[in-house]
Amino acid sequence: MNQHQEPLASVRYCGRDFTAAELAAIGEIIAQKAQHPTRAAISRAVCRALNWRQANGRLKDVSCRVALNRMQDDGLLSLPPPRHPAPLRCRRPELTTASAPQPRIEGTRADFPALQLRRVTAGSNSRLWNELIARYHYLGYQPLVGAQLRYLVDDGDRLLAALGFSAAAWRVAPRDEFIGWTEAQRQAQLHRVVNHSRFLILPWVRVRNLGSSLLSLAARQLPDDWSAVYHYQPVLLETFVDERFRGTCYRAANWLELGQTTGRGKTQSRPRRPRHDAPIKTVFVYPLRRDFRQWLAVDPP
């Protein structure tokens, strides 16, 4: 930190306020190089020291690692060099014949009575999901942010689509106005909003009404799956549709169009360093419960 700057009372990273005392504690953890030699070890120790945990009790070490990197970018601390350069952690998945183009699949929704969403956990299904997104999704492959669930969609032995859900955007004006929560309520209840971050119908699949059917299936299945993994139920889904797409399937599945984003990145939360380098997108939401506002507009204890 520049010696001429006023000491910060608190700073915000990844949805959490860090006090000056907590920043000092983080500095002490980093200084204990023998006990915490790597960035991963430091982030776990910081989470334990600050009791920064998910709703299911697990450490929020991934969010912590991102926060620590941003703190270093802002000159608040100095981390040890990463063991692996960032490009190795986020490299494009190797493409194999498992994700190669297939013969055209056509029909209507009624022609696919065994349509199902299979939750991706690990192993070959995880690699296949990554491959499909890398190969066919316009955004390419990037690890999803925060709490997340991934699905492969098939009907018998016919693979049709891949879906991904992850942590909600930190601040979205149309969504926040629609919910009507206060700043404190948003910080406390944001985890109950889930972002539909990847939606890929494979390019050889031409099935009428498939997109809206998948959205409806996901809205019914995801709350229980999310609860089984993270021990709480989400009450609202959100998504952002790029201007190159019309969002027709979301409208057909009764998602609500709220407006447009401002062009800031999905995870940006530091107003002192604004960026407007992200594309403008249309915001859609889907309530998973009629009383979703009662769950979201709850004051923190």
Q: What does each of the 301 residues of the chain score in pLDDT, given as a tens digit?
A: 444 444 556 788 877 888 889 999 999 999 999 998 999 999 999 999 999 988 778 888 888 988 898 888 888 889 998 876 554 445 788 889 999 999 999 999 999 999 999 999 888 899 999 999 999 998 888 888 788 999 999 999 999 999 999 999 988 999 999 999 998 999 889 999 999 999 999 999 999 999 999 999 999 999 999 999 999 999 999 999 988 888 899 999 999 999 988 765 554 444 444 444 567 899 999 999 999 999 998 888 7
Examine the domain organization and report whether 157 and 272 are in the same domain.
yes
Examine the domain organization and report whether 53 and 195 are in the same domain.
no
Examine the domain organization and report whether 119 and 213 are in the same domain.
yes
Q: Which domain holds residue 286?
A: 114-296
Examine the domain organization and report whether 257 and 153 are in the same domain.
yes
Examine the domain organization and report whether 167 and 62 are in the same domain.
no
Examine the domain organization and report whether 68 and 147 are in the same domain.
no
DSSP annotation string for 73-116: HTTS--PPPPSS-HHHHTPPPPP-GGGS----EEEEGGG-TTEE
pTM of the model: 0.74
N-term to C-term CA, the chain: 33
What's the CATH number where 172 sits?
A: 3.40.630.30
pLDDT reported for residue 204: 96
Tokens for 67, please give them: 């926060």
The Cα–Cα gap between 49 and 26 comes to: 9
pLDDT reported for residue 75: 84
* Residue 147 lies inside a defined structural domain of this protein: yes
pLDDT reported for residue 6: 47
Examine the domain organization and report whether 139 and 220 are in the same domain.
yes
Residue 56's SS3 state is coil
* Residue 130 lies inside a defined structural domain of this protein: yes
* Residue 91 lies inside a defined structural domain of this protein: no
Q: Across the beta sheet with 256-260, what order do the strands follow?
A: 115-120, 149-155, 158-167, 193-201, 236-242, 281-287, 256-260
Quick one: how far is CA 113 from the chain centroid?
A: 30
Region of 212 (left: φ > 0; alpha: ψ -120 to 50; beta: rest) is alpha
Examine the domain organization and report whether 30 and 125 are in the same domain.
no
Of 41, 66, 86, the domain-final residue? 86
Q: How many helices (H) and strands (E) does the chain have?
A: 10, 11
The Cα–Cα gap between 196 and 186 comes to: 19
Examine the domain organization and report whether 196 and 275 are in the same domain.
yes
Q: Give the total number of structural domains in the chain.
A: 2
Give the ranges where the chain is alpha helix by DSSP (H).
20-31, 39-50, 61-73, 86-89, 124-136, 173-179, 183-189, 210-230, 248-252, 292-296
Examine the domain organization and report whether 178 and 278 are in the same domain.
yes
* Residue 239 lies inside a defined structural domain of this protein: yes
The Cα–Cα gap between 137 and 1 comes to: 41
The total of other beta-carbon atoms located within 10 Å of residue 191's CB is: 17
CA atoms lying within 13 Å on the CB side of residue 14: 20
Examine the domain organization and report whether 178 and 250 are in the same domain.
yes
Examine the domain organization and report whether 66 and 127 are in the same domain.
no
* Residue 2 lies inside a defined structural domain of this protein: no
Residue 98 has φ and ψ, to the nearest 5°, of: -60, -30
